[in-house]
Amino acid sequence: MKCKIGRDKLVGLCLLLSSGSALGYLLYSTARLFGVYGILTVLSSFATVLSCGTLLVGLKLLVYESERPITLDEMEDKVGKYAGEPKTILSALPIFMCGIDGSGKTTQIRMIARRLKKGNWKLRYTWLRWVALTCYPFLVLCRLLGYTCWRTNERNGAKYPEHSFYRNRVVAAIWPYLFGLDTFASHLFKVWIPTKIGYMGLYDRCAIDILVDLIVETRDTALPEKLLGKLLLALVPRPSIVIVLDIDEETAYGRKSDIPSIEYLRQRRKIYISLARILGVNVIDGNGPAESVHQRIVEEILLHYPLWYCSG
């Protein structure tokens, strides 16, 4: 004789019986609770959660017809009901452009922005390299101790700060965490919140650039493998597009007059290439005319996202 009780209903019935047993134990433990404390309190709390959960699941399994097969007509009705509604298959992805000074990051972001405006996206451009909020007192102290000094750029006469935190082990250990704290707060308002509310973020630099600066200032090449380095890299939302523009130091030095020296670029370029290799980040050759570099970015990276990238 074939049993007419389905498997789901049988499970629901068992859950109802177990919930009844749990409730019975709950009443018993509650009566004893007036004179006995300790383990009965924990057991009674556990019994409360167990009874409520099993009771709810058991009732749903008994009431719902979960084993009833759906007919072809019902499937066609469901398809016809939602066929005309537009679907968002892929949401906007933030784009982060990083690399040494003079590599053409800002120019490429502007070219991408002009392309994306044709798709009616809500665009937001943000520069992310430097932010100092709570770490200013520490910077003042380092200035007094001589670990921060102001240099004059011989090319344009502008002054720029030079941080030599590596000269003191304590200072080199504290600085990344203080600056990282300010970076976390900055990224919350500049990256995470705009991304969550639907903005297509175009970011000039990202956490990789911040990590490169910290490595140079502290001489701590193991920083990406430490907890702070991993937290900084985690500030880049997933999914997102990260592009490192690689260009030779002499060309970059000739593009901008505010770069202190070629050695300044050479030191940082090695770290960028190393981090990009470790993290699996897209590296684009930034040498040549801006239009040619933009075309390489489109063909090698952006065209892999045809659902949102406006190629018109």
Regarding whether 293 and 166 lie in a shared domain, the answer is yes
pLDDT at 21: 56
* Within-domain flag for 75: no
Q: Which domain holds residue 46?
A: 7-63
- The contacts of residue 38 (CB under 8 Å, 6+ apart) are none
Regarding whether 136 and 21 lie in a shared domain, the answer is no
pLDDT in tens, the chain (312 residues): 444 445 555 665 665 566 555 555 555 555 555 555 445 455 555 555 555 556 565 555 555 554 455 566 665 565 555 455 444 435 678 999 999 999 999 999 999 988 888 777 788 899 888 888 888 899 999 999 999 999 888 888 888 889 999 999 999 999 999 999 999 989 989 998 888 888 889 999 999 999 999 999 999 999 999 999 999 999 998 889 999 999 999 999 999 888 999 999 999 999 999 999 999 999 999 999 999 999 999 988 888 776 555 444
- SS3 category, 159: strand
* CA separation for the pair 55, 83 (Å, rounded): 38
Residues 30 and 123 in one domain: no
Range list of β-strands (E), the chain: 95-99, 123-127, 148-152, 159-163, 200-204, 241-246, 282-285
Burial class (CB in 10 A: 0-12, 13-18, 19+), 146: exposed
Two structure tokens written together for 197: 């509310």
Please check whether residues 32 and 171 belong to one and the same domain.
no
Whole-number pLDDT of residue 155: 86
Report the number of distinct structural domains present in the chain.
2
User: Which phi and psi angles does 233 have, rounded to 5°?
Assistant: -65, -30
Q: Are strands 148-152 and 282-285 parallel, antiparallel or unpaired?
A: unpaired
Question: Is there a contact between 58 and 19 (Cβ–Cβ < 8 Å)?
Answer: yes
Pair (53, 100) in one structural domain: no
Residue 57 forms part of a structural domain: yes
Domain boundary residue, one of 63, 85, 103: 63
Q: Are residues 37 and 125 in the same domain?
A: no
Q: Is residue 85 part of a domain?
A: no
102 and 36 part of one domain: no
pLDDT of 32: 55
Judgement on whether residues 39 and 185 belong to the same structural domain of the protein: no
Query: Does residue 124 share a domain with residue 49?
Result: no
Q: What is the CA radius of gyration of the chain?
A: 30
Residue 72 is assigned to a structural domain of this protein: no
Do residue 143 and residue 273 come from a single domain? yes
261 and 124 in a common domain? yes
Provide the CATH number for the domain around residue 117.
3.40.50.300
The reported pLDDT for the residue numbered 297 is 93
pLDDT score, position 270: 95
Residue that finishes a domain, picked among 63, 85, 104: 63
Q: Do residue 109 and residue 58 come from a single domain?
A: no
Report pLDDT for 118: 76
pLDDT of residue 106: 93
